[in-house]
Amino acid sequence: MRQLFSFPNPVNEVAARLVAAGVVLMSLAALVFQAEWLVVIIALGFIARVLTGPSLSVLGQVVTRVVVPRLPAAPRMVPGPPKRFAQGIGVAFSATSALLLLVVDADLAGWLVLAALALAATLESVFAFCLGCKAFALLMRAGVIPDTVCEACNDITARTAANLERKAAAAAR
C-alpha cells in the first residue's frame, strides 16, 4: 500500500493531461463567471495533488478511477518528479491568484494569474507540453535540482527503450 503523503512515480501522462483539462475547465469557469470561490477550490486541488498525487484530489480521483479506465488509450508512463514540480507551480499560481482576488483586492492581477495558469494547463492537456516539466529539466541541467531527484529524467536510454516498446506494442495491435 502506497503512503498517503507520497507522489506516484512514474505517472500516467494520460491521467495527467486529463487532470490538466479539468484545471482548464475550472479556470475558464472561474474567469467567465468571476467565481473567486472556484479559484480557492483550484488551489486546494493543486495542494492535494502536490502532497498526495491523486489520492486526496477529487479531480485526480475522478480522472484516475472513472475516466482513464474507460478510455481506449494505453497508459504512457513518465517520471513523477517533474509532474510533481509542475503541480507545485500550479499551487504557486492558483494560490497567488486566490490571494490577489480575496486578500489584496487586486482583481485584474488575480484573474491574469489564473489566465496564465489556464494557458499552461491548456498546453499540457492539448499538446502534452508541460511547462513545469520543462522548467524542472532546465533546473536539473543547471544543477539546482540534483540528478538523484529524478534518475529516470537523466536516463535517456531507458526512455528510448520504453518508447520503442510502446511503439512496438501499438504496432502489434
Residue-level pLDDT at 120: 98
pLDDT < 70 regions, the chain: 1-4, 155-173
Name the grid cell of 20. Answer: 490538466
- What is the reported pLDDT for 170? 58
* Sequence spans of domains, the chain: 11-172
What are 102-120's pLDDT values in tens digits?
999 999 999 999 999 999 9
pLDDT digits (tens, 9 = 90+) for 4-32: 677 889 999 999 999 999 999 999 999 99
Q: Please report the pLDDT score of residue 151 as a whole number.
A: 84
Surface-to-core class of residue 169, CB atoms within 10 Å of its CB (0-12 exposed, 13-18 middle, 19+ buried): exposed
Q: What is the CA radius of gyration of the chain?
A: 17
pTM for this structure? 0.85
Task: Give the integer Cα–Cα distance in Å for 86 and 64.
Answer: 18
d(CA 164, CA 162) in angstroms, rounded, equals: 5
Distance CA 116, CA 89 (A): 11
| Beta carbons of 154 and 147 less than 8 angstroms apart | yes
Rounded Cα distance between 154 and 146, Å, is: 11
- What pLDDT sits at residue 38? 98
